Amino acid sequence: MDMNLIIDVGNTYVKLAVFKGDKMKRKDVIKLQLLLKHINLLKEEYKSINKVIISSVGELKDKDVSYIDKQFDLILLNSKTKLPFKNLYKTPKTLGIDRIALVSASVNLFPEKSALIIDAGTCITYDFVTTKNEYLGGAISPGIRMRYKSLNNLTANLPLLETEIPNSIIGNSTNNSIHSGVVNGVLTEIKGVIQQYEQKYSDLTVILTGGDANFLSKQLKSSIFANSNFLLQGLNYILQINSN
C-alpha cells in the first residue's frame, strides 16, 4: 500500500506525518528551513510515499512547493480542494485551512454527528458541522497567550506572566488577578459557547484540540479531548478522498 506524507506548515515549525491508510507511522516537528532536507530523508526511509498534501499558514516558498510537486503527487490545500463536507461559509476563500482540516477530521472520526470543534491555540476557534456534514461556521477569539500578552502590551504597568491555573476566582494580587481574568475568562467563554450550542443542538459532540487543549481539558468535563494528531488526521482524510 502506498503511503501518504502530510505536511502542516506553521509560522516557525512544520509538522510532518507519514500515514499508511488511517494509521500514522511517524510524526516529526522541524524548523521550516529544514523542510526539503527532511522530506528527502523520509523519501529515502519510506520509499512507498506517493501522495503528499500541504497545509500552509506559514511562509512556504513557491520553489519549495515546486520541488515537492516534482517528487510526489501533490495536493496544496486551498478553498478549491475537494472536501468531505459541504462548506456553507459565506466567505469560503477566507476560511483558514487549519479549520478546514479540523472539520474534516471531525467528519471522518465522528460521522453524522453535529459537532463543535474547539481549537485552543494562538487563537481559539469554534467550528460547527451538522449531522448532514454541512459546515456552517463558528467563531474566532483571542487565545490564552494572546490575552496575557495583550494585558502586558496595551497597559503601562501590568506584567507579562506565564500561564497558570488560578487558585481562586478572587485574585488577591495583581498577578493572581491576571491569572483569574485570563484563565477563568477563557474557561467561562468556552463553557458558555458550548452551552449555547447545546441549547440549539441537543445531541452535540464537543471536540477540544490545539496547543492549550491539554491545559484546558482538566477544567472542561463536557468535551472530548482530541489528541494532538487530530489536524494531521484531517489532512490525511482530505488526501484520501482526493485520491479515489
One domain for residues 58 and 142: no
- The whole-number pLDDT of residue 123 equals 93
Residue at 10 is within a domain: yes
Residue 219 has pLDDT above 90, yes or no: no
Q: Are residues 25 and 102 in the same domain?
A: no
Claim to verify: residue 18 and residue 47 sit in the same structural domain: yes
Burial of 153 (0-12, 13-18, 19+ CB in 10 A): exposed
**Where a domain ends, among 28, 44, 76?**
76
Residue 7 pLDDT more than 80?
Answer: yes
Residue 242 lies in a domain: no
| Between residues 219 and 77, the one the model is more confident about | 77
Residues 6+ apart with CB under 8 A from 135: 85, 86, 87, 88, 89, 103, 127, 128, 129
Residue 135 pLDDT? 97
Boundaries of domain holding 124: 86-234
Q: Is residue 26 domain-shared with residue 132, that is, in the same domain?
A: no
CA distance from start to end of the chain: 14
Distance CA 203, CA 115 (A): 9
d(CA 57, CA 60): 8
pLDDT value for 65? 93
Q: Which residues are known to be catalytic?
A: 98
Query: What pLDDT band is residue 15 in, cutting at 50, 70 and 90?
Result: very high
Domain boundary among 11, 41, 76: 76
209 within domain boundaries: yes
If asked whether residues 163 and 205 sit together in one domain, one would say yes
Q: Could you count the other beta carbons within 10 Å of the beta carbon of residue 87?
A: 15
- Residue 166's pLDDT band, with cuts at 50, 70 and 90, is very high
- In this structure, the answer to whether residues 7 and 61 fall within a common structural domain is yes
Residues in Cβ contact with 85 at an 8 Å cutoff, skipping those fewer than 6 apart: 103, 104, 107, 129, 133, 134, 135
Closest by alpha carbon to 49, among 109, 99, 105, 4?
4
Question: What value does the mean pLDDT take over residues 152-171?
Answer: 95
In a domain, 81, yes or no: no
Alpha helical stretches, state H, 77-200: 97-109, 144-153, 174-179, 185-200
Domain final residue pick, 24, 41, 76:
76
Q: Which residues contact 193 (CB under 8 A, 6 or more apart)?
A: 116, 118, 126, 139
Contacts (Cβ under 8 Å, ≥6 apart) of 12: 31, 32, 58
Residue 218: the pLDDT is 81
Stretch (H or E) spanning 26: strand 23-31
Going by C-beta distance under 8 Å and a sequence separation of 6 or more, which residues neighbour residue 93? Answer: 79
- Grid coordinates representing 226 are 482530541
% of the chain at pLDDT higher than 90: 82
CATH value at residue 165? 3.30.420.40
Cα–Cα distance between 103 and 128 in angstroms, integer? 8
Nearest alpha carbon to residue 236 among 70, 71, 52, 103? 52
Say if 230 falls within a structural domain. yes
Residues 132 and 169 in one domain: yes
- Rg, the chain, Cα only: 19
Q: Please tell me the total count of domains within the chain.
A: 2
Distance between CA atoms of residues 131 and 121, nearest Å? 26
Which neighbouring-strand residues pair with 141?
124
Query: Mean pLDDT, to the nearest integer, of 215-242?
Result: 88
In a domain, 243, yes or no: no
Question: Do 189 and 93 reside in the same domain of the chain?
Answer: yes
In this structure, the answer to whether residues 106 and 181 fall within a common structural domain is: yes
Give yes or no: residues 129 and 209 share one domain: yes
Q: Is residue 241 part of a domain?
A: no
Q: Residue 211: what pLDDT?
A: 86
The C-alpha angle with vertex 33 and arms to 27 and 38, in degrees rounded to 5, equals: 40
Answer whether residue 188 is part of any domain: yes
Do 149 and 185 lie in one domain? The reply is yes
Is 103 in the same domain as 219?
A: yes
